[in-house]
Amino acid sequence: MTPEGLKDIATYAAIVAPWKNNIVPVVNNTISPAAVANGKSFVQNATKAGLLVNTWTFRDEAQYLASNYSNSVQNEYTLFLKDLGVAGGFADNTTSLVTWLRANGYTPVWTHSMVVWLRVLCC
């Protein structure tokens, strides 16, 4: 998505919510430094356009985690929230997400059986 495309989206939306692997693609179970840089650019461009970036769905099971995360969804949360600046998202395992959020100064917002964190609501 180009910066111009994101500015256009901002005329009618407040949030963009691509799947996490569309923000940082996983190829052969690995995330490249270039993929991380491109993901960071996307989040920065969306933010500059006035959009929040949310993503989905974080899962704890090793088969859903790139090898870069060393089988720890905590490392994936760190990449998306701290390193990229994603504003919100969804996770299947509420325990691991709440643990990470609280350890990193966020307050989780509960909705049904999932946890959502939104920087605008909690931080």
Burial class (CB in 10 A: 0-12, 13-18, 19+), 27: exposed
pLDDT score for 123: 41
pLDDT score for 79: 97
The number of domains in the chain is: 1
Token couple for 40: 């960071």
Residue matched to tokens 């088969």: 63
Token couple for 69: 């995360």
Pairing mode of beta strands 15-16, 88-91? unpaired
Closest by CA position to 29, among listed 56, 59, 67: 67
Which residues of the chain register pLDDT less than 70? 109-123
pLDDT score for 121: 41
